[in-house]
Structure 1
Amino acid sequence: MKKNLLTLLLASTTACMATAQPAVAGYPYRQVPFTSVRLAPGSFFGERLKAVQKVTIPLAFGKCETEHRYENFVKAAHPSDDYVVDQFMRFPFDDTDVYKTIEGASYMLQSFPDKRLEAYIDSVLDIVAKAQETDGYLYTARTMNPRHPHPWAGMKRWEKVEELSHELYNLGHMLDAAVAHEQATGSKKFLDIARRYADCVVREVGPRAGQACVVPGHQIAEMGLAKLYLATGDKRYLDEAKFFLDYRGKTAIKNAYSQSHKPVTEQREAVGHAVRAGYMYAGMADVAALTGDTAYVHAIDRIWENIVGRKYYLTGGVGARHSGESFGNDYELPNLTAYNETCAAIAQCYLNLRLFMLHGDGKYIDCLERTLYNGVISGMSVDGGRFFYPNPLASDGNYKFNADGTLTRQPWFGCACCPSNLSRFIPSVPGYVYAVRGDDAYVNLFMAGFATLNVGGKELTLETMTDYPWDGKITIRVLENANKKASLMVRIPGWARGEVAPGGLYRFTDKRENGWRIARNGGYLYPELQEGGYMRINNVRKGDVITLELNMQPRTVVADKRVKDDLGRVAVECGPLVYCAEAADNNGVQLQQIYVKANADFSLVKGYNIWNTEADGQPFAVNALRTTAQELTKDADGNLALKRVGLTLIPYYAWNHRGAGRMDVWLKSTDVE
């Protein structure tokens, strides 16, 4: 089974649509299932999907073999006192690498059916199933040697779940993967395994006498349990998710690192581990949507405002500190030492999508888009085979920002949460493009392809043609529409309306005019029709052509003066993309001594290669920017002088494809404070 893995996985090329995944219930605004959206081959995100299908998922399955992830399950099926668990199992959450990769592969199966891949997953599930204890408990870090489990696990079940055991974290990822697998294949094999573990948790963990009254030390079970409730209709799972949230701040361990320092409804700012926080806030939204608990909504609204107004990087990343992989204080946003874990960016996408589905405001999609195009895809090389764990906004070529002390993108990590998380997240991106409420269809993201939406119980089929994010023209054709009352709600991005990001943490500094216009069948519409960041186009008909033109030009940005690391500096962005200066494109220029004007002019360089083609065999082109800057130098007499130099910038997500070197998002400026 294992020897021919990569050949087996690389063989799938046939695309078709499978049964649509049901959207999350309970939200006023409904996500359109990603299986109803087909991204165009060769488009920006079509290429990201291709990279994950062809490279990332096969790589992740291969690493599950070579890094002994499957072996952990085999050992758990045959426990022994001879196993010294932490000698071959570094972390007790290693099981989730298997679950997350299966989840991503299942998403791919729904768009790219492949019987051989389906059979391979089935054989992996045979290994997983044999490791499950008779009462449903499934945690290899303990089961393989119950007398001497992994040091993080504790001697009893749930004993260290609020600290390091990750028993419930493993459950959450298992549930997400199991639901995806059942939807993709129709098989309940994984769902039955996951449900037995969830039943074990429901029996043993809770507020009643004889139960372990604990909450997850690393959140995600809340989202998984909500998803399992929707898949099965069994309310016990939703009740368990709500217990995990309601009892935070009430159990033995109260710790801001894991957001258990106070009850969730009393929390007002984002603190602690940025991934755990994002997963918890997203779980609160799911539970609120399903139960109607408005106190949850008020709490996450407050926390979101704290994030975007004080703790949010220009790239949409979060988590300023290496220590604890955590949020910093308000306005603590260092660049060289920024952590910005890839998983934290993914968690922010989960959160912002859910806040949109609660409130219907385009500002949440503005944040989602910024994070997606910068903070998320920066974590994966353009070919899908190398990864970042942290995503700093500066590099001096020496600071060791990766968890294992390396300077460049890596094919895997000892703590492999980010590569496997990308394996499952990128294939789900088509499900972020559209949403529906009543007779209104929301165009949230601009991605070329086809989509069939259920609008008011009737089908609406759209074709989108665009080269976004490289070009600001988006053309939407209505191919079919059975609902004569259907309206299109087309998002007008905040950056096109003069707002860098919600919350006022950043602002444009140049004198360029913001601009956009939208036409229906060639007739331009009035901007006054906007609603919450959207342009309403009523009563669309088959054959209608909607054209959105966004004035996409490079613009300079400054941060709030309270962000001390960005004082006297500007950044550059064009459309949704943040740009950076990298040494590889600026030979001989000392980037740390470069000064850029706050109203600098830029020229566009299309088809700029950011990959070493001789070493890697395939060019990857981006739109680069060029400008004239000033470099601080010394003349022959040792006097300081400013010299005019050319400066090339590339999209931030594409940096570090040519090895370690200097990189800066925020550049010094002579005309900002």
Structure 2
Amino acid sequence: MLHYKSKALFAGVVLSISNLMAQGNKDYPIQPVTFNHVHVNDQFWAPRIEVNAEITIPYVLQKCRETGRVDNFLKAAGKKPPTNLTEYPFDDSDVFKVIEGVSYSLQTKTNASLERSLDTLIQIIGEAQEPDGYLYTFRSMKPEKLHPWISQKRWEKDSDLSHELYNSGHLFEAAVAHYLSTGKKSLLNIAIKNADLIVKDFLYGKAPYFPGHQVIETGLSRLYRVTGKKDYLALAKYFLDIRGNGVVKGSEYSQSHKLVTDQHEGVGHAVRAAYMYTGMADVAALTGDQSYINAIGKIWSDVVYKKMYLTGGIGATGAGEAFGAAYHLPNMSAYAETCASIANVYWNNRMFLLHGDAKYIDVMERVLYNGMLSGIAQDGKKFFYPNPLASMGQHQRSAWFGCACCISNVTRFMPSVPGYVYAQDKNNVYVNLYMSNKADIQLPSGKLTLSQETAYPWKGDVKISLNPVKQMAFAMRVRIPGWARDEAVPGDLYRFASLQKANKIVIAVNGKPVDYQLEKGYAVFNRTWKKGDVISFELPMEIEKVIANEKVKDDQGRFALQRGPIVYCLEGPDHADQAVQNIVVEEQTNFTANYNPSLLNGILTLDGKGSATSRQVNSNQLLKKELPVKAIPYYAWNNRGPGEMVVWIPSQESLSRPKPAPTIASKSKISGSVSSQRMLSSLNDQFEPSSSEDKSALYVHWWPKKNTEEFIEYTFDQEYTISESKVYWYDDSPFGGCRIPANWEVLYKQGNDWVPVKALTPYETTKDKYNTIQFEPVKTTGVRMKIKLPVNHATGVHEWIVK
């Protein structure tokens, strides 16, 4: 029986779509110049797009075969037994995203081998599809036991975890890309058959559930544009409007806690959120729904003004991969998922297409050059899932993840980067990004070819040559980036330390400076253009020190470095002892820019002077040693192995993490029932945690173990007499998996045996403080802590001190 509210919602959506469509075809007032019409030939983006096409895409396609993702479709088709499923029920989407990436690449460079691979893969997908259009391998293969995220009934758990509709969304995106690239309808027909089933089951009231993970909304919008079938657009709107209307219980995690038009803050899972806001923009553009535009405008302000990292990353916490509270932007534990950065690009580009304001491109550019680009290594075969802004060596790009969403997302995104350079609105041409390229643009007044020459982002010189097919009147709208106008970001979340007012950018036409008006961040030149006309200018590539809003507690007493669109960081390999957490740089320190063609595929470094701090035994006074400081682009870090990194540089000694004093513990060799030496090294790093759940540094943990006996151990550099041990527990309750231990005991090495110490004080297990045990003095070469984990949880340790 259809829920009453669903009936009313369905009727309202259909009526709304019908009324809006009756007004004529709608879409974004500004349209992008698609990437297949923009041929990038610079030294920055072109090599990266080439690496994606030649290395990353084949690599990820092979990984989809090796990990069983392709086999899932064969199992669903009955060609393999339904055993050894992959880990997640959204693994189908990785295959679809790779197909989308291959399809985009084929638009710019033919590859017969890859195209044949797609044909074979699409045939396998088609055979896995059920007769009525249903396509979800984890159910269709009929395993002996369904994945716990899947209900016995179709769609029933999608608003929770099943990802049936999420997979379909990526199928639709891939199908449209494949059709537009090759002209083939093989995958498009599969997508249409699947979409028609979902229309039947949802739009006509059979399944009143919302998608747990958004993306189908944008997929349906793209499918509507290609097919013209209004039901697809109506279904996209239905999926948005059913969220938070009481039909199915919702939550902030999936942005279903209230109606989408009543949401004014960025909350919950950051990827789902940004995909939803992108979908709302698409539906608003295609229907003219102003209530959607109002809502995502308010949400954008909340995110950009209060919840965005300097790198453009969003999603501050790993708990739910979610937005944190306003101004809560921790650096070491920053999540800033690569998928969220890609979704943030999609969302900001859509906001620009709606409003024509350069502030959205300012944010998009920040994400592109920093938070997104850091997600993939320079070899094209290692990846970040989270993108932290500080590290003590615990972060490392991986060759693969069980949850491979970020990896497959990169493959589909990179070929589309040229599509963000230009846009048009009738006879208005927007120049949004700067990279050497040649573009063909069809204006109402005629065909225009643009050529752009620049060494951006390392140099600010830009030359744009115009070659219209005839003399034509049209407007060139040239973006002056916010950072070139002394605006670090829209809003006051970050600002440049230098308060000097930026000079107006001098722009020349055919070599002569011309006056212009700045409209929404664009220098506007409305004139009759002829073949050979040239617009030229130089953006000021000043080295800027960035200061965070005082409400961002994690960044107080620190500054970050930025030059042009590039955010910088300090990394271990460029500094003494491979350490940067102990570096302090005075805010007034001058830096110089130096291009190094042999470092990290060619980068511009920022060089200055600072000091390294270290602790002393039995003294709170720090030792200081002057040293040269080198900053590299944030996107390039971790390409030389794991190590220390910091974006926000302390200008106060008290905020540095000094090199440990030579204590018994710091000079010891560490071992234990934990395989990660990086984790074990946290035990004696002398970093004082702010609380038991402090995630801003390394710590040892035994998650997901529970109710087991574990140990950690110091082997001393010589024999010592010891009589005290202090431990600070890691406990991330109530949401995490670690708690203080059930009990613990200290033992010392006597010959080849481990003997319990004779305690003089009781063993305590208390959060948020050092737990101290004093015992009769013993002479030994080593000490061990035996730890019994709680029955239902793991345990962790921040710091272990021996005296």
TM-score w.r.t. length of structure 2: 0.76
Q: Is the alpha carbon distance of 1:98 and 1:636 closer, same or farther for their aligned partners in structure 2, counting shifts above 3 Å?
A: closer
2:446·2:468 contact (CA, 8 Å) conserved in 1? no
Give matches, 1:299-448, under 5 Å.
Answer: 299-398=295-394, 407-448=395-436
| CA distance in structure 2 between the partners assigned to 1:546 and 1:181 by the alignment | 36
Give matches, 1:177-326, under 5 Å.
Answer: 177-206=174-203, 208=205, 211-250=206-245, 251-326=247-322
| CA distance in structure 1 between the partners assigned to 2:177 and 2:184 by the alignment | 10
Deviation at 1:147, TM superposition (A): 6.4
More contact order relative to length (CA 8 Å, sep ≥ 6): 1
2:471·2:531 contact (CA, 8 Å) conserved in 1? no
2:584·2:650 contact (CA, 8 Å) conserved in 1? yes
Match in the other structure for 2:460: 472
1:206·1:214 contact (CA, 8 Å) conserved in 2? no
2:613·2:653 contact (CA, 8 Å) conserved in 1? no
State the SS of the aligned residue for 1:557: strand
Match in the other structure for 1:555: 544
1:458·1:483 contact (CA, 8 Å) conserved in 2? no
State the SS of the aligned residue for 1:485: strand
| CA distance in structure 2 between the partners assigned to 1:276 and 1:436 by the alignment | 29
1:628·1:645 contact (CA, 8 Å) conserved in 2? yes
Deviation at 1:307, TM superposition (A): 0.4
| CA distance in structure 2 between the partners assigned to 1:458 and 1:671 by the alignment | 62
CA deviation vs aligned residue, 1:398-419 (integer Å, no higher than 9, x gap): 3xxxxxxxx3111211100011
Match in the other structure for 1:69: 69
Aligned residue type for 1:413: F
Deviation at 1:610, TM superposition (A): 4.2
Deviation at 1:660, TM superposition (A): 0.9
State the SS of the aligned residue for 2:106: helix
Aligned residue type for 1:83: P
Q: Is the alpha carbon distance of 1:672 and 1:295 closer, same or farther for their aligned partners in structure 2, counting shifts above 3 Å?
A: farther
CA deviation vs aligned residue, 1:250-279 (integer Å, no higher than 9, x gap): 221211100000000000100000000000
Matched, 1:643 2:638: no
| CA distance in structure 2 between the partners assigned to 1:89 and 1:319 by the alignment | 27
| CA distance in structure 2 between the partners assigned to 1:532 and 1:511 by the alignment | 22
Match in the other structure for 2:48: 48
Deviation at 1:25, TM superposition (A): 6.1
Tell me whether 627-636 or 592-601 shows the greater mean CA deviation. 627-636
Aligned residue type for 1:219: Q
Choose the corresponding residue for 1:577, options 566, 587, 590.
566
Deviation at 1:150, TM superposition (A): 2.0
Give matches, 1:28-177, under 5 Å.
Answer: 28-40=29-41, 42-78=42-78, 83-84=82-83, 87-145=84-142, 148-177=145-174
Match in the other structure for 1:450: 438
Deviation at 1:513, TM superposition (A): 5.6
| CA distance in structure 2 between the partners assigned to 1:510 and 1:295 by the alignment | 39
| CA distance in structure 2 between the partners assigned to 1:459 and 1:579 by the alignment | 40
| CA distance in structure 2 between the partners assigned to 1:457 and 1:127 by the alignment | 46
Taking only the aligned residue pairs, the percentage that are identical comes to 48
State the SS of the aligned residue for 2:424: strand
2:584·2:653 contact (CA, 8 Å) conserved in 1? no
Match in the other structure for 1:669: 651
Q: Is the alpha carbon distance of 1:93 and 1:632 closer, same or farther for their aligned partners in structure 2, counting shifts above 3 Å?
A: same
Q: Is the alpha carbon distance of 1:344 and 1:637 closer, same or farther for their aligned partners in structure 2, counting shifts above 3 Å?
A: closer
| CA distance in structure 2 between the partners assigned to 1:309 and 1:345 by the alignment | 16
1:143·1:149 contact (CA, 8 Å) conserved in 2? no
1:317·1:345 contact (CA, 8 Å) conserved in 2? yes
Choose the corresponding residue for 2:518, options 530, 543, 551.
530
Deviation at 1:601, TM superposition (A): 1.3
Match in the other structure for 2:575: 586
1:107·1:428 contact (CA, 8 Å) conserved in 2? yes
1:207·1:213 contact (CA, 8 Å) conserved in 2? no
Deviation at 1:249, TM superposition (A): 0.4
| CA distance in structure 1 between the partners assigned to 2:154 and 2:160 by the alignment | 13
| CA distance in structure 2 between the partners assigned to 1:610 and 1:132 by the alignment | 49
Unaligned runs of 5+ in 2: 1-24, 656-803
| CA distance in structure 2 between the partners assigned to 1:96 and 1:161 by the alignment | 15
Unaligned runs of 5+ in 1: 1-23, 399-406, 612-619
| CA distance in structure 1 between the partners assigned to 2:626 and 2:27 by the alignment | 58
Choose the corresponding residue for 1:546, options 528, 531, 535.
535
Tell me whether 564-573 or 637-646 shows the greater mean CA deviation. 637-646
Aligned residue type for 1:627: G
Matched, 1:653 2:653: no
CA deviation vs aligned residue, 1:440-461 (integer Å, no higher than 9, x gap): 1000000101001122252111
State the SS of the aligned residue for 2:258: coil
Deviation at 1:341, TM superposition (A): 0.3
Tell me whether 216-225 or 661-670 shows the greater mean CA deviation. 661-670
State the SS of the aligned residue for 2:203: coil
| CA distance in structure 1 between the partners assigned to 2:95 and 2:614 by the alignment | 53
Deviation at 1:115, TM superposition (A): 2.2
CA deviation vs aligned residue, 1:463-511 (integer Å, no higher than 9, x gap): 0001100111111011234461112110000000000000210000035
Match in the other structure for 2:782: none
Deviation at 1:609, TM superposition (A): 4.1
2:203·2:238 contact (CA, 8 Å) conserved in 1? yes
Aligned residue type for 1:576: P
CA deviation vs aligned residue, 1:155-211 (integer Å, no higher than 9, x gap): 110010101100000000000000000011110000000110111111112363xx0
State the SS of the aligned residue for 1:153: coil
2:37·2:440 contact (CA, 8 Å) conserved in 1? yes
Choose the corresponding residue for 2:604, options 623, 636, 653.
623
State the SS of the aligned residue for 1:415: coil
Q: Is the alpha carbon distance of 1:483 and 1:229 closer, same or farther for their aligned partners in structure 2, counting shifts above 3 Å?
A: farther
Aligned residue type for 1:591: V
Greater per-residue strand proportion: 2
Aligned residue type for 1:214: Y
Tell me whether 106-115 or 308-317 shows the greater mean CA deviation. 106-115
2:26·2:287 contact (CA, 8 Å) conserved in 1? no
Aligned residue type for 2:407: P
TM-score w.r.t. length of structure 1: 0.90
Q: Is the alpha carbon distance of 1:512 and 1:608 closer, same or farther for their aligned partners in structure 2, counting shifts above 3 Å?
A: farther
| CA distance in structure 2 between the partners assigned to 1:596 and 1:91 by the alignment | 45
Deviation at 1:119, TM superposition (A): 1.3
State the SS of the aligned residue for 1:376: helix
Q: Is the alpha carbon distance of 1:445 and 1:269 closer, same or farther for their aligned partners in structure 2, counting shifts above 3 Å?
A: same
State the SS of the aligned residue for 1:295: helix
1:100·1:420 contact (CA, 8 Å) conserved in 2? yes
Tell me whether 300-309 or 382-391 shows the greater mean CA deviation. 382-391
CA deviation vs aligned residue, 1:503-531 (integer Å, no higher than 9, x gap): 210000035663432111111123x5111
Aligned residue type for 1:33: T
State the SS of the aligned residue for 1:591: coil
Q: Is the alpha carbon distance of 1:396 and 1:90 closer, same or farther for their aligned partners in structure 2, counting shifts above 3 Å?
A: same
2:269·2:321 contact (CA, 8 Å) conserved in 1? yes
